[in-house]
Chains A and B, each alone.
Chain A
Amino acid sequence: MRFESPDTIEQAIGLLNTCEGTSRVLAGGTDVLVQLRLALVEPELIVDIKHIAGMRDITAEDGGFRIGAAVSGAEMGEHADLVALWPGVVEAMELIGSTQVQGRATLAGNLCNASPAADSVPAMVAANAVATIVGPNGTRECPVADIPVSPSKTSLTKGEVITSIYLPARPDNSGDAYLRFIPRTEMDIAVSSAGVSLTINCDGVVTQARVSLGAVAPTVLVVEDASSAIIGTKLEDAAIATLQAACSAACNPIDDKRGTVEFRTKTAGVMAKRAALIAYSRAGGSK
């Protein structure tokens, strides 16, 4: 195995693109090091991206925030303005692992590891987050929702690296939230999860909403029927019940030791319902 820590993105892409065997980008390493240890992957090349300019920065941009691909969860949680704008995305990131894991884990790493249960992903998808990807053919932007394609597989092609993730500006009276079901209170992997982002008007009526689910299908799900169930409502009981049913109907989970199909299907709806209520109150709505 070769270890490189280039100073520029061009060098990183060059290294990855010319490597004939398996290569891995290294951000926080909280997935990569575990995979190395278990010999799940034996890469020829590891490219540490943390020395590349901009990778460790959180930058305000057009009313939103651009988060460099090497920014850790701990750094996100310490950024008061980011937490104020996208509390649901930050809380999702902060659910990942322990304090120690938080010191290293990144949004982009969580996304590129492409676990169906990745915690930050449903929250980013609800937020309409967009990844900036640089590769041998230049730079492109891609919605976060289109990056995972199946468990452990992404739509990135050879030599491509995510350099940042953009969380957009949002209207006043917006809120987001993320919840997961785990059998314990800390240090576990989601059995089901939901991210909700919404905006309300001055009467408390939902004008925009986006609902996503994690751990209940091979990739993150966007549930359009759940957003349409609450748009135009004040999250009255009937609207919430429709959202919950739409979420459960969208699930296509597996059975494993963490949860049965039935349990995942049910709890996904419950997580979405509770996340919607939290997002609504963060948007300034009262019930």
Chain B
Amino acid sequence: MGPMQAYEPDPTSETPALQLGGMVSTFTVVKIERADPAAVGVALQEMLARTPDLFEDAPVALDLSGIDGPTDRSVGEGDGLRVAARPSGVSLGDLVRALRAGGLLPVAVCDPSNRRRAEARALGLASLRGGGRRAHRGSETGEPATEDLSPVSAAGKALTLRHPVRGGQVVYAEGTDAVVLGPVNPGGEVIADGHIHIYGPLRGRALAGAHGDLEARVFCQRLEAELVSIAGVYLQAEQLPAPYRGQPAQVFLDGETLVVGDL
């Protein structure tokens, strides 16, 4: 009961009714790829069926560039090129309802156009400048990174798996690294908010930095992946550089490019 009392309103107290302080960070950025709330809902259901607790009540920011086209900022400033965003016909409200129905908590929109900004305000959503991982590129363009979107630090104890990750299995290391003492087989999937270490062949999928940690890496003793991803940037099997196929390798982000390197 103790800590609860701190939140009880006390009209006679001298304490102000609210205080500013502290920062709560980290939203998963959900990129909407189709201007169709029903399709978004179905895709979400499929994702949730595979990884039920990955997104449970997760606060998310929406990236609408996939359906509205890029806003001027994401094209790059100072090069004189400004692309006016032409929002698709779909209403933000319908998209938000589809996401809520799927268990997500939309709280913000990344880089909204003026029209989307107005819609967001009406729905009680924040507008963020510098969407998702672009937040960190802000410093390169002389702009401070948006504090709101700093990545989760993977502080917890690593999730260690002593068994192979087999086809159809999905493992999620929430807020931490995943260590797999064995193979990740075709159709198997390891997701971690931090790094992924595989002491065996990676034949399935490995998604590190699942909540946006740009520093996350994937390490494996033999790269035969179906897909590797860091903070949402991914390479599929046929995109893996030939010299590293079947070899020990690590995968990391260099800017917005996924790089495969020696272990």
Asked whether A and B interact, the reply is: no
The interface of chain A, by Cβ under 8 A from chain B, is: none
The interface of chain B, by Cβ under 8 A from chain A, is: none
